[in-house]
C-alpha cells in the first residue's frame, strides 16, 4: 500500500512539475474517515503548491472476485479445524439457499439495521433528528416499488445513511454471506471500517476469510468445531437465538451438508 501511495504521490508531483517552471514539494493531506466514501478507499487527495490533486487508482488485489469454490471452503475449514458442512450451515441460515454474497457486482448482500444505526450514531455523537426530512429513506421501510428489488432498496437506505455518517452507517449494517455486523470490523481483523467494507465488497472468499477471523477472535470457533449449535447461536445471533429457532435451523442445515 505504501509503495502504491508513493507512486501516486510521485505521479502527482511529476504532473505538477510538468506544468510549472519550478519543482514544488508535495504534501499529503489525510482525510477524516467520514470524508471518504466507503467504496472509494482507493482515492487520495494531495495538495501541491496550493493546488489540490485528486488521484484515483485501483488496488492490485482488486482482481480477486467470483463466487466461492469448494476448494475455498476446504482451505478455510482446514485452517480452522472445522467441517465444511458447519460453515455452509451458517451461510445457508444467513444468506439463504442461494449462498450468494453479492446481489450485483461489487455490492455485497446487506441488511441495514435502523436500531443499530441509531445506537452507533449515538455512540459517535451524531444527532439523527435533523436528518429525518432530508434523508427519508434511512428512516423508512425499504421501498421495493421505488428501487426495483429488496437489496436495491436496502442499498438506497445505506447510501443515505452514509451521507449522514459513514462510520455509523457501516457499523449499523450487516454484511455479506455471513451477515457480519459492521460494528465487528475490529474482530474481523481489519484496520478500519473502510477496509472492512472494501474486503466485503471484493469477493466471497474475502467474506469467508472475514468470517473465519471473526469467529476466531470472538471465541466462537470451539462451539463451531463441536457443532454446539446453541452456544454458537448465542454468540453469533444474540441471546434471543432460541426464540427464533436459530440453533435448530443451524443443526438442520449442517445435517443437510455433512
Contacts for 216 with CB less than 8 Å, ≥ 6 apart: 80
Give the pLDDT of residue 205: 97
Neighbours of 135 (CB within 10 A): 18
CA 121, 162, 9, 13 torsion-angle sign: negative
Per-residue DSSP letter, 32: P
Q: Which of 100, 98, 74 is nearest to 87 (CA)?
A: 74
Give the pLDDT of residue 47: 42
Neighbours of 149 (CB within 10 A): 12
Q: Tell me what the pLDDT averaged over the chain comes to.
A: 83
Digit-coded pLDDT (tens) for 10-65? 444 444 333 333 343 444 444 444 434 444 444 344 344 444 433 333 334 444 56
Query: Grid cell 441460515 — which residue?
Result: 93
Give the pLDDT of residue 97: 85
Digit-coded pLDDT (tens) for 227-258? 999 999 999 999 999 999 999 999 999 999 99
Give the pLDDT of residue 256: 96
Tell me the average pLDDT across 65-86. 94
More confident residue, 24 or 96: 96
Digit-coded pLDDT (tens) for 172-202? 999 999 999 999 999 999 999 999 999 999 9
Neighbours of 33 (CB within 10 A): 15
d(CA 103, CA 225): 30
Q: Which of 46, 40, 44, 42 is nearest to 14 (CA)?
A: 46
Min mean pLDDT across 30-39, 48-57, 105-114, 210-219 is at: 48-57
Per-residue pLDDT band at 77 (split at 50, 70, 90): very high
**What b/e readout covers 183-198, taking b as 16+ CB neighbours within 10 angstroms?**
bbbebbbbeebbebbb
CB distance 157 to 137 below 8 Å = yes
CA atoms within 13 A on the CB side of 134: 8
Contacts for 32 with CB less than 8 Å, ≥ 6 apart: none
More confident residue, 171 or 23: 171
d(CA 257, CA 140): 38
Amino acid at each position: 500500500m505504501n509503495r502504491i501511495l508513493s507512486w501516486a504521490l510521485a505521479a502527482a508531483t511529476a504532473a505538477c512539475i510538468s506544468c510549472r517552471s519550478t519543482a514544488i514539494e508535495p504534501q499529503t493531506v489525510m482525510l477524516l474517515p467520514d470524508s471518504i466514501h466507503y467504496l472509494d478507499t482507493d482515492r487520495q487527495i494531495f495538495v501541491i503548491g496550493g493546488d489540490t490533486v485528486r488521484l484515483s487508482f485501483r488496488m492490485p488485489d482488486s482482481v480477486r472476485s467470483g463466487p466461492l469454490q469448494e476448494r475455498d471452503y476446504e482451505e478455510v475449514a482446514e485452517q480452522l479445524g472445522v467441517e465444511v458442512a458447519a460453515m455452509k450451515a451458517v451461510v445457508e441460515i444467513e444468506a439463504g439457499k442461494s449462498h450468494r454474497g453479492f446481489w450485483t457486482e461489487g455490492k455485497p448482500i446487506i441488511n441495514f439495521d435502523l436500531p443499530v444505526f441509531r445506537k452507533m450514531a449515538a455512540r459517535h455523537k451524531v444527532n439523527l433528528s435533523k436528518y429525518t426530512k432530508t434523508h427519508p429513506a434511512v428512516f423508512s421501510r425499504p421501498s421495493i416499488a421505488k428501487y426495483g428489488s429488496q437489496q436495491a432498496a436496502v442499498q438506497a437506505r445505506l447510501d443515505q445513511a452514509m451521507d449522514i455518517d459513514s462510520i455509523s452507517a457501516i457499523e449499523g449494517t450487516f454484511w455479506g454471506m455471513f451477515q457480519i455486523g459492521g460494528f465487528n470490523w475490529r474482530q474481523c481483523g481489519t484496520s478500519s471500517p473502510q477496509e472492512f467494507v472494501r474486503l466485503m465488497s471484493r469477493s466471497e472468499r474475502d467474506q469467508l476469510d472475514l468470517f473465519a477471523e471473526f469467529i476466531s477472535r470472538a471465541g466462537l470457533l470451539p462451539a463451531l468445531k463441536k457443532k454446539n449449535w446453541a452456544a454458537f447461536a448465542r454468540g453469533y445471533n444474540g441471546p434471543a437465538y432460541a426464540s427464533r429457532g436459530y440453533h435448530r435451523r443451524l443443526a438442520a442445515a449442517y445435517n443437510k451438508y455433512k
